[in-house]
Amino acid sequence: MNPLLQVNNLHVAYPSKKFFKPALEIIHGVSLDLAPGETLGIVGESGSGKTTIGRAVLGLAPVTKGSIEFEGKDISHAGKAERRKIARDLQVVFQDPYSSLNPAMAVGDILSEPLVTLGATRADARRRVRTLLDQVGLPHDAADRLPREFSGGQRQRVAIARALGPKPRLIVCDEPVSALDLSTQALVLELLLDIQRETGVAYLFISHDLAVVRHISHRVAVVYRGEIVETGPAEDVTLKPEHPYTQRLLLAAPIPHPVQQERRRAERLRLREQQREQHEQTAVGLSRA
Amino acid sequence: MITYVLRRLGAGIILAVLVTFITYLLLAPSFEKIVRSILGTAATDANVAGRMQKLGYDRPVGVQYLDWLGGVFKGDFGRSLFTSELVGPAVTQRLGVTLSIVLPALAITVLLSIALGVIAAVRGGTIDKISQGVSLIGMLVPSLLLAIVLVLIFAVTLRWLPATGYAAPSSNFDGYLRTAAIPIFVLLIGGVANMAAQVRGAMIGELRKDYVRTLRARGMKNTTVVMQHALRNAVGPAVTVLGLEFLAMLGGALFIEKVFALPGFGTYAFSAALRGDVPVVMGITGFTVLLTVTINLLADLVNGWLNPKARLQ
Amino acid sequence: MSVEQLTADPDLEASARTPLWKRLAGDPQAVITGAILTVIVLVGFLGPFFWTHDPNAADLNYANALPGDPNRPLGGDQNGRDILARLLASTQTSIIAGLIGVIVALLVGVTAGLVGGYLGSKTSAVTEWLFNLVMTFPGILLLILLMPVTGGDYRVTMVIYGVLLSPAIFRIVRGLVIATKGELFVDAARVSGLTDTRILARHILAVIRGPIIVASAFLVGTAIGVQAGLAFLGVGSSAVPSFGSMVSEGFTNLYLRPMQFLWPSITLGLITACLILFGNALRDALEGGQKNVGGRKSRRPASSARPLEPIPSEENALLVVRDLQIGYPASDGTVRPVVKGVNFTLNKGEILGLVGESGSGKSQTAFSILKLLPAEAVILGGSVWFDGINLLEASERDMQKIRGRRIGYIPQEPMSNLDPSYRVGAQLVKSVRATTGVDRKEAKARVMELLERVGIANPERVYRSYPFQISGGMAQRVLIAGAVASRPALLIADEPTTALDVTVQAEILDLLRDLQKDLDLAIILVTHNFGVVADICERIAVMKDGRIVETGEAVDVFDNPASAYTKSLLAAILDESTVRADRPAALAQKQE
C-alpha cells in the first residue's frame, strides 16, 4: 500500500535574521511515512524540532534538502497555487486555540473561508459549516459568534471543524490538546479518534506528552535535537523504548499514582546512573583511542 | 559596549549625510530661479549662467553636494548668497538661542514626565486622574495659543515678565530666566503631556509583570521594586523617543520664537528659505540633523545601559 | 457530548459583537465631539454658498469694523476683509490640509508598514531604516526650508508633511503586522492556500484597522495645527485664508481689536481639541481604557472584620486557612467571588498539593497567603493564620518581614519572573540583602552557595549572566534559590514545573524534594498535573469552582476518591494502560 505521506531525509534551516550570517539548521535529515487513516505520533521536548517537521509538511518552514511526498507528489517546494490544491487534502490544527482563530472574524466565516477559497459557493459553504459544527459537537448558533466567546476546548473544536472543512486526507495536529485542561483534553482526544474512525483521515500528531501520543497514535517517532532517534508501534516505543533518550523521557514522565511513581522515580535514578557510567566509559574509550 | 557605541555612531553619521543629501537634491531644481532673483529682472540668460558657474551650480548635483560635505568636514559651511556672512558662526549663534530654550525644556520634560508617570501608575486614584487631566489639557491646547495666552496674562496684564526680548544666559542669567521662562514652560507643557502618558502606560504594563510579584514575594520593599526594577524597565521605551521629542520641540520653538520675538534660528531659517539662500538652508539642515543624531545617540546609550539585551545582542 | 460551558462573562459577550459605531454612540464624549466636528465641516464647506462674501476682498471702509454690521457680521480685519467669510474659508483650508496630510501619511505608512512587516526580515530591516531616516528630518523646519520647492502652496506643503508624518503610521502598522503575522490563524490561512494579498486584506488589515483609525484622528489634528502654525509664520500664499494668518494678524492688532485674534483661535482650538477627544473616545471604544492596577491598596470590605475569631490552635499546624473568600469586581459594580470559602491546614514540613483545573481558584488561594493578589482583588472574608497572626489583617510592612523570610515563593514561568535588566547574581544579592541585611560581600557568598545548592554546575558563570542568557530549567533553579535564600518555613510553589520539559521537571522535583528534607520545609504546591502531585505531595486538596471538594492523604485520594469530581478528573488521566489498540482503518480493511 502506498503511503499517504512520505518524508525523506528532510533538512530545514531558517535564514539568519542578520545579514551575512549562515542559516540555522533545525532539522538534520528526518525520514518518516504515514499510511492513509493512520496516526503517527511525533514526540519530543521543546526545541527538539518536532513542530518544525509539521510546519515543513504544511509548507510553513523552509525545506533546504530532502523531499516531502504527499499522495506521491513532492510538495516540499510547492508554490501558492499548488498549495491551494493540496489544501483540499492537507489541513492543520494548532496548539493555541486562542491565536489560531482570527479574533475579528465570526466562527462561521472562519469555517467557510477555506471552503470558499477552494471554490465552494457561499450557500454550499454555509451548509457545510452546519454539518461541521454538528460533527465537532458545537451548536449551530456558534457560527454567528466571535472566537472570544468560547472556552479553550470549544475553540479547539472550531479549529478541528475548520481543518475538517475540505474533507482532508491528512491533518497535522500540532500539540492540539496541550493548552487544555485535563477533562477537556480527554474530550478533544476522543473527538479526534471518533472523526478518524468515521472519515478515515490520517493524523500527524505532534506532542510533548508521551501519554497523549500513546493514547492516539498507531505508531510513534521520537525526535531529539532535530533527528528521529526511534520509530515503531506506539506500544513498543512508549512503553518499552530502546533508545536511551526515549528511556529517559519515559521515566521522567510521572505516573499519576504515588506508589507507582515512587517505583518509577527509583527506576529513573538508576537509569541516570547507568547512562552516566556508560557515557563516562565511552568518553574514556574515546580519549584512549 | 564600545562596538555598540561605534555601530550607533556610524549609523548616525550615515543618516546625517543622507538627510542633508536629500535636502540638497530637493533644493537643486530651484537654484536657477534663486540666482535669477539675486541678479534681478534685468539679468540676461548669460548673466545667470555666468553666476551659476561662479557658484558651482552648473556642476552635477552629486559633485556639488560632495563639495559641500567636504567643506563641512573642514568646518566650512560656506557663505550666505545674500549677505556673504559665514554660515557656520551665524547658524551656531542663532542655534544657541534656540537651544537655550529647547534643551532646558527637554531636560525638565524628561524629569517631570518620569516623576508624574511613575506616581500616576503606582498611586492610581485621584493623583492619576489629575495627571491625566493635565496631560489632556496639554494636548488639547495648541502651544501657539498657549504661548499667546501666557504672554497676555504674565506680560501684558500682570507685567511680571517682559513680553518679548532675549538675554543670553552667559551674560545676564537673571534676564535669561525672565525672558526664557514662558517659552520654556510652553514647550514643556506639550512635551510632558506626551511623555508622562507614555511613562505611565509603560509603568502600568511593567508593574503587571511576573518578576515584580516575585521580587516582592522575596520580601523586597515595594518602593525598591518600583524604583529600581520596574522603572528601569519602563523608562527605556520613553528614552528612545527622546530624539523625536527633541525634534518636536525644535519645531514648536520656531512658532514660539515668533510670538516672543526671540532671535533664534527659526526667523533666520524663515528669511533664508524665503530668499532661497542655499548655503544657509543647508547649514541649518546640517546642524539640526547633527543635533538630532547626537540626541539619538545619547538616548541609545542610556537605553543600552538600561537594557542589556539591546546592548548584547 | 460537550460538558464545557460557554464563557460565563456576559459583558464580554455583549461587547464582542456590538459594532463600533454603536459603542461610540453610547459614549457622550464621542457623540458631542463628533457632532461638533460634523457641524464645523458642514459649515466650512456649505457656509460659503449661503454667505457669499469674498474672504479676500479688502474694503478700507470696514477696516477694523466692529461685529454687528450687516456686511461684516463678525467685524472686519485691519484691511477691512470680512472675518466671517475668512473664518469659513479658513475652516475649509484647515480641513483640506488635515485630510491631505493624513491621506498621504496613510498611503505611505500603511503600504510600507504592510510590506515591511509581512515580507522577509531583510525587506523589513530596509524599510525600517528608511523610515527612521524620514523621522530624523527636522519636520517643520524642513517645510520652511523647502519653500523654494513648494512655492508656498499649502497643499504641496501638506503632501510633504504627510510623508513626514508617515513614520508614525508605518511604525504602528509594521509592529501590528509583525505581531499578527506570527499568530497561528495567519498560518492556518496560509495552509488553506489563501494568497498573500487576501491574507493581508482579510486577516491582517481586519485586526490592525482599529489602531490606524485612532492614529489618523490624532494626525488630522496635528496636520491642521502645523498648517496653521506655518501660516502664522508666514509660510504660504497670503491669498489663501487660514487660521494661522488670521491669528498672526489678530496678534498684531491684539490691543485694538482682541476679537480679531479670538475668532480664529477659538475655532482652531475647538477643532483640534474635538479631534483629540474624539480620537480618545475612539480608542476607548476599540480597546477599552487602560485600567490602573496600582500597587498598594488592597480593598477590604467590612464583612471581613471578625476580630473575635480565636486563633486556631492545632498541634503542629503551620498554616491554617479558614473560610477564605476572594472576589473580583465585575463591570456591573458587584464583586464576583472566585474563591468561595476555602479551609485547610498545613502542618510543619508537609507537602500539600492544591490541585484543580484552570479557574478553580487554586492560584488565588496561594497568592492570598503571600498577600500578593492583584490590586483589584477583594478579600471578602476568612482568615489565614501563620505564626500566630492573621495574614489577611497584617500590614504591608509586616508582610514584608514575612515574605521571603518565613514564606518563600516559586513562580510558574521561569523567564518572566526574572528582571531582564539585572544579572542573575545581582537580583539574588538584592533580595538576600533585603531580607537579612548582610553586607554585599557576605550576600554574594551566600548566593554562590545557594546556586551550587540548587544544582547549578557553573555557579560563577550563572551569577554573571543575564536572564536571557540562561535556559528555562536553569532559570527555575535560580528562582528556587531565591525562594529558599532566607530559609523560610513555608514555600508557595505555583505550577513550578508546568513550563518545563518533563526531563527538566523530574530534576526540579528531585531538587524540591531534597530541599524539603534538608530545610524541613512545608510546601504548598499548586498544580493541575496529577503526575506531579503523585511524585511529591503527601496530601492533596482538590479544588473546583472556588471550593475544596476533597482533602486527604495522597494515596487515599488516588485509590479511593470521595468526590465525584475527583473521580471524573482521575478518569480523564491518560495513564500507561491507555494505549491505542485499533489498527488504521485502511490497513484493517486490507487484511480482512
ipTM given for this complex? 0.88
| Per-residue confidence (pLDDT) for residue C289, from 0 to 100 | 41
| Per-residue confidence (pLDDT) for residue C543, from 0 to 100 | 95
CA distance C195 to chain B (A): 35
C135, C147, C483: residue with CB nearest B244? C135
Confidence band for C589, pLDDT divided at 50, 70 and 90: low
Averaged over C41-70, what is the pLDDT? 84
Report which of residues A200 and C252 the model is more confident about: A200
Averaged over C419-448, what is the pLDDT? 91
Give the chain A residue nearest C576 (alpha carbons): A211
Whole-number mean pLDDT of chain B? 85
Share of chain C above pLDDT 70, in %: 90
Record the cell numbers describing residue B242, joined without a space. Answer: 527622546
| Per-residue confidence (pLDDT) for residue A63, from 0 to 100 | 93
A145, A182, A259: residue with CB nearest C528? A182
pLDDT winner (highest mean) among A180-184, B162-166, C472-476 = C472-476
CA distance C280 to chain B (A): 10
Whole-number mean pLDDT of chain C? 84
Q: How far apart are CA B76 and CA B54, in angstroms?
A: 18
Instruction: Say whether pLDDT at B31 is over 80.
Output: yes
- The domains located in chain B, with CATH, are 2-73 (no CATH), 87-312 (1.10.3720.10)
| Per-residue confidence (pLDDT) for residue C17, from 0 to 100 | 53
| Per-residue confidence (pLDDT) for residue A289, from 0 to 100 | 53
Phi and psi (nearest 5°) for C310?
-75, 150
Instruction: Say whether pLDDT at B9 is over 50.
Output: yes
Give the chain A residue nearest C189 (alpha carbons): A114
Chain C contact probe: residue of B214, B256, B257, B295 with most C CBs at under 10 A: B214
Report which of residues B139 and A274 the model is more confident about: A274
Report which of residues C301 and B311 the model is more confident about: B311
Chain A contact probe: residue of C207, C539, C544, C576 with most A CBs at under 10 A: C576
| Per-residue confidence (pLDDT) for residue C370, from 0 to 100 | 94
Asked if the C-beta of C585 comes within 8 angstroms of chain A's C-beta atoms, the answer is yes
Residue C272: Cβ within 10 Å count: 24
A161 within 8 A of A133, measured Cβ to Cβ: yes
Asked if the C-beta of C583 comes within 8 angstroms of chain B's C-beta atoms, the answer is no
Chain B contact probe: residue of C32, C141, C218, C376 with most B CBs at under 10 A: C141
Q: Tell if the CB–CB gap between C188 and A46 is shorter than 8 Å.
A: no
Cβ-based contacts of C490 with chain B (< 8 Å):
none
Asked if the C-beta of C576 comes within 8 angstroms of chain A's C-beta atoms, the answer is yes
Residues 6+ apart with CB under 8 A from C592: none
Averaged over A14-42, what is the pLDDT? 85
| Per-residue confidence (pLDDT) for residue C588, from 0 to 100 | 60
Instruction: Say whether pLDDT at C228 is over 70.
Output: yes
Asked if the C-beta of C49 comes within 8 angstroms of chain B's C-beta atoms, the answer is no
CA distance A46 to chain C (A): 7
A80, A95, A181: residue with CB nearest C357? A181
Record the cell numbers describing residue C222, joined without a space. Answer: 496635528
Averaged over B81-97, what is the pLDDT? 89
Asked if the C-beta of C233 comes within 8 angstroms of chain B's C-beta atoms, the answer is yes
| Per-residue confidence (pLDDT) for residue C508, from 0 to 100 | 93
Instruction: Say whether pLDDT at C303 is over 70.
Output: no
Asked if the C-beta of C555 comes within 8 angstroms of chain A's C-beta atoms, the answer is yes
Report which of residues C408 and A117 the model is more confident about: C408
Poorest-confidence range of B188-192, C107-111, C136-140?
C136-140
Q: How far apart are CA C212 and CA C110, in angstroms?
A: 9
Q: How far apart are CA C392 and CA C379, in angstroms?
A: 8
Instruction: Say whether pLDDT at C305 is over 50.
Output: no
Touching C: A residues 155-214, CB under 8 Å: 157, 159, 162, 181-187, 189, 191, 196-197, 200, 202, 208, 210-212, 214
| Per-residue confidence (pLDDT) for residue C313, from 0 to 100 | 58
Confidence band for A118, pLDDT divided at 50, 70 and 90: confident
For residue C441, give the nearest of C454, C429, C459, C450 by alpha carbon.
C429
Asked if the C-beta of C482 comes within 8 angstroms of chain B's C-beta atoms, the answer is yes
Asked if the C-beta of A265 comes within 8 angstroms of chain C's C-beta atoms, the answer is yes
CA distance A103 to chain C (A): 8
Touching B: C residues 360-379, CB under 8 Å: 370, 372, 375
Chains touching C, CB cut-off 8 Å, 3+ pairs: A, B
Angle formed by the axes of helices B125-140 and B87-123, nearest 10°: 150
Q: Tell if the CB–CB gap between B213 and C372 is shorter than 8 Å.
A: yes
Cβ-based contacts of C499 with chain A (< 8 Å):
none
Give the chain A residue nearest C13 (alpha carbons): A149
Q: Tell if the CB–CB gap between A200 and C202 is shorter than 8 Å.
A: no
Give the sheet arrangement for strand A63-70, strand by strand.
A24-34, A5-14, A63-70, A73-74
C133, C136, C421: residue with CB nearest B306? C421
Asked if the C-beta of C457 comes within 8 angstroms of chain A's C-beta atoms, the answer is no
Instruction: Say whether pLDDT at C432 is over 50.
Output: yes
CA distance C498 to chain B (A): 15
Give the sheet arrangement for strand C389-390, strand by strand.
C335-347, C317-329, C378-386, C389-390
**What pairing do the DSSP bridges indicate for beta strands A39-43 and A219-224?**
parallel
Poorest-confidence range of B118-122, B150-154, C454-458?
B150-154
Q: Tell if the CB–CB gap between A200 and C502 is shorter than 8 Å.
A: no
Instruction: Say whether pLDDT at B313 is over 80.
Output: no
Q: How far apart are CA B257 and CA C142, in angstroms?
A: 17
pLDDT winner (highest mean) among A117-121, B292-296, C76-80, C368-372 = C368-372
Instruction: Say whether pLDDT at A100 is over 80.
Output: yes
Asked if the C-beta of C149 comes within 8 angstroms of chain B's C-beta atoms, the answer is yes
Chains touching B, CB cut-off 8 Å, 3+ pairs: C
Averaged over C49-77, what is the pLDDT? 82
Q: Tell if the CB–CB gap between B218 and C483 is shorter than 8 Å.
A: yes
Report which of residues C104 and C331 the model is more confident about: C104
Poorest-confidence range of A201-215, C63-77, C179-193, C516-530?
C63-77
Instruction: Say whether pLDDT at A124 is over 70.
Output: yes
**Over the stretch A224-249, which tens digit does the pLDDT of each residue have?**
999 999 999 999 999 999 999 999 99
Confidence band for C72, pLDDT divided at 50, 70 and 90: confident
B78 within 8 A of B281, measured Cβ to Cβ: no
Q: How far apart are CA C507 and CA C489, in angstroms?
A: 22
Share of chain A above pLDDT 70, in %: 96
Instruction: Say whether pLDDT at C592 is over 70.
Output: no
Cβ-based contacts of C140 with chain B (< 8 Å):
250-251, 254
Confidence band for C9, pLDDT divided at 50, 70 and 90: very low
Averaged over B203-226, what is the pLDDT? 91
Share of chain C above pLDDT 90, in %: 42
B140, B148, B211: residue with CB nearest C419? B211
Asked if the C-beta of A7 comes within 8 angstroms of chain C's C-beta atoms, the answer is no
Asked if the C-beta of C501 comes within 8 angstroms of chain A's C-beta atoms, the answer is yes
**Over the stretch C253-280, which tens digit does the pLDDT of each residue have?**
877 888 888 888 889 889 988 988 888 8
CA distance C391 to chain A (A): 31
Q: How far apart are CA A212 and CA A220, in angstroms?
A: 11
Locus of grid cell 500500500: A1
For residue C255, give the nearest of B186, B183, B157, B160 by alpha carbon.
B157
Q: Tell if the CB–CB gap between C503 and A105 is shorter than 8 Å.
A: no
Averaged over C487-491, what is the pLDDT? 93
CA torsion sign, A119 to A124 to A126 to A132?
negative
| Per-residue confidence (pLDDT) for residue C6, from 0 to 100 | 39
B16 within 8 A of B68, measured Cβ to Cβ: no
Q: Tell if the CB–CB gap between A59 and C191 is shorter than 8 Å.
A: yes
CA distance C570 to chain A (A): 9
Instruction: Say whether pLDDT at C149 is over 80.
Output: no
| Per-residue confidence (pLDDT) for residue C287, from 0 to 100 | 64
Poorest-confidence range of A174-183, C106-115, C205-214?
C205-214
Chains touching A, CB cut-off 8 Å, 3+ pairs: C
Cβ-based contacts of B258 with chain C (< 8 Å):
232-233
| Per-residue confidence (pLDDT) for residue A193, from 0 to 100 | 94
Share of chain B above pLDDT 90, in %: 13
Asked if the C-beta of A100 comes within 8 angstroms of chain C's C-beta atoms, the answer is yes
Cβ-based contacts of B128 with chain C (< 8 Å):
292
Q: What is the DSSP string of A212-248?
A: HHHHH-SEEEEEETTEEEEEEEHHHHHHS--SHHHHH
Poorest-confidence range of B44-53, C388-397, C455-464, C560-569?
B44-53
Confidence band for C14, pLDDT divided at 50, 70 and 90: very low
Instruction: Say whether pLDDT at A212 is over 50.
Output: yes
CA distance A148 to chain C (A): 8
Please give the DSSP secondary-structure letter assigned to residue A169.
S
| Per-residue confidence (pLDDT) for residue A18, from 0 to 100 | 60
Cβ-based contacts of C419 with chain B (< 8 Å):
211, 215, 229, 233
By residue count, chain B amounts to 313
| Per-residue confidence (pLDDT) for residue C506, from 0 to 100 | 93
**Over the stretch C152-167, which tens digit does the pLDDT of each residue have?**
788 999 999 999 999 8
The CATH class of the A1-89+166-240 domain is alpha beta
B120, B288, B296: residue with CB nearest C141? B288
| Per-residue confidence (pLDDT) for residue C63, from 0 to 100 | 80
